[in-house]
A and B are shown apart, each in its own frame.
Chain A
């Protein structure tokens, strides 16, 4: 089983729709959960960061972590064409003192005007 699994998409939705992006993981040691956004020919950019279980909201973005199910989600409300990018879930374990990040494969999202 892969450490982090993410549906690669592509996912295409109309402008204004709610987008749901998901990842599952197998390593119980993961404590820090992140979502990165990556535009074409650019490096990953941190969108949201969550420690342990629960929800976190930032504007139109909500991150959810369910450690019991080893499942994390990112919701985008009122999606905009500028949200079109690849979204990477990422995780890190507390024991990793060097902050090694394990990435999912990324979901390519396209918002149609």
Chain B
């Protein structure tokens, strides 16, 4: 069964460093998303991406964040200068079509720890 994959599973970084979280969405999906979940808190929407453009972003997704689809298979989330409060699980998701009725498939997540 096709699935979304994410690497690395755990990333430890120093405050102020740049990190890139990588995702490989399901191959025929066209819509991509990043969510994050701070420990003990709810899963929060960060950004959605389609046709090489951001479709929607939350207030969390400030200038420190960027997303990119560098090739035909990867989808990345970059945090330019990490802060302690960026420590969280980051989930990538993808869907075949647009619209809430189309299931978003989630990856297993990358645990980011900022020291």
A residues near B (Cβ < 8 Å) are: 4, 31-32, 41-46, 49, 51, 88, 92-94, 96-106
Contact = CB atoms under 8 A, between A and B. Distances in A.
A106 B95 CA distance: 22
Interface stretch (B37-45, B68-76, B79-87): B37-45
B77 to A, nearest CB: 14
Interface residues of B, number: 29
Contacts of A42: 108-109
26 contacts: A4-B42, A32-B101, A42-B109, A43-B93, A43-B106, A44-B91, A46-B104, A49-B103, A88-B42, A94-B100, A97-B99, A99-B33, A99-B99, A99-B100, A99-B102, A99-B104, A101-B35, A101-B45, A101-B100, A101-B104, A103-B35, A103-B42, A103-B43, A104-B42, A105-B41, A106-B43
Interface in B86-115: 91, 93, 95, 98-109
A88 B105 CA distance: 14
Nearest to A31: B100
B65 interface: no
Contacts of B33: 99
Q: Which of B48, B91, B100 has the most CB of A within 10 A?
A: B100
Given A98-B50, A99-B48, A105-B42, A43 B101 contact: no
